[in-house]
Amino acid sequence: MPKTTEAADDRSEEKRGAAGSVQSVDRAVSVLEILARLGEAGVTEIAEELGVHKSTAFRILGVLEHRGLVEQEHERGKYYLGAGVLRLAGAAAIRLDISQEGQPVCRALADDTGETANIAVLDGDAAVNIMQARGAAAVTAYNWLGRRTPLHATASGKVLLAHLPRERRERLVERKLPRFTPNTLTVPGELRRQLTAAAEEGYACSCEELEVGLNAVAAPVRAHDGAVIGAIGVSGPAYRMAQALLPDLAGRAVKAAAELSRRMGFAG
């Protein structure tokens, strides 16, 4: 077979595979929606709703059950939504709540410091900024909203990293850490020392570690049970946020974090 024909066949196979994957995802989501609507259903009923063979429905349910998204009443063979759905919904609810409750706190912190205030939450192996407010001095500041930033090179990221379970934190610290500026912490031991200090002092700083000329401070935001669910802080140019001023700015971030934590139900 000519090479051009082989290449065309490979591309065709890739397209079929991609289309099949999308269809499988669509069917899996449909199963979750069916169970949310009906409360519980058997394989035959789900297959009829999807318009597929029972074996296909059973295979989809098996994958969802393995991930904890559906569970089965073994005596009756009925399926229903599993605890994994509650976990996902809970994570979404926390982001929604911290965004709603954090807006006035973030605005007040920006007004108090004159710099750009942000609220960030953990997103896999990065921090993502879900709220931003600009102070009077931050007219030309970057727009960080929605931006994923590295945990080891940002103040918010260090706060989130410092409060992760030890095993997960170590996996993130021990991996190869990219360098963004001459000040970026890429040696695990040095990063560990800063994370320990962040946990003990209640805030973290970054000094030109993500971008040259950019400094930041951040403090942890806690949920009702004390778990760290986010970080709130301020960032600005190093000539305005000099290192000598960071402890005072950190104190303001800590107060803002305490207020937002109180709004999230934390009484500590």
Residue 7: inside a domain, yes or no? no
Give the phi and the psi of residue 123 in degrees, each rounded to 5.
-135, 85
Same domain, 123 and 211: yes
**pLDDT attached to residue 93:** 59
Instruction: Read off the CATH number of the domain in which 81 is found.
Output: 1.10.10.10
Q: What domain count does the chain have?
A: 2
- Structure-block tokens of residue 254: 């800590």
Tell whether pTM > 0.95: no
244 occurs within a structural domain: yes
Among 132, 138, 134, 143, residue whose Cα is nearest residue 99: 132
Do 87 and 171 have their domain in common?
Answer: no
The candidate with the shortest Cα–Cα distance to 253, out of 268, 236, 233, is: 233
In single-letter form, the type of residue at position 60 comes to I
Residue 38 φ/ψ region, left for φ over 0, alpha for ψ in the -120 to 50 degree band, beta for the rest? alpha
Neighbours of 77 (CB within 10 A): 11
Assess if residue 218 is contained within a domain: yes
Report residue 187 as tokens.
């040696």
Cβ-in-10-Å burial (0-12, 13-18, 19+) of 231 comes to buried
Instruction: Answer whether residue 204 is part of any domain.
Output: yes
User: What's the domain range around 75?
Assistant: 21-93
Query: What's the CA gap between 187 and 214, in Å, rounded?
Result: 21
Query: How high is the pLDDT of residue 251?
Result: 97
Give which of 98, 131, 139, 147 is closest to 115, Cα–Cα: 139
Provide the CATH number for the domain around residue 159. Answer: 3.30.450.40
Question: What region, left, alpha or beta, does residue 71 occupy, with left being phi > 0 and alpha being psi -120 to 50 degrees?
Answer: beta
Query: pLDDT averaged over consecutive 10-residue blocks of the chain (268 residues)?
Result: 48 52 86 87 92 92 90 81 73 70 93 94 91 80 79 97 95 95 96 97 97 97 92 95 96 97 86
Domain membership flag for residue 16? no
Tell me what pLDDT residue 9 has.
Answer: 47
Instruction: Look up residue 155 and give its amino acid.
Output: A
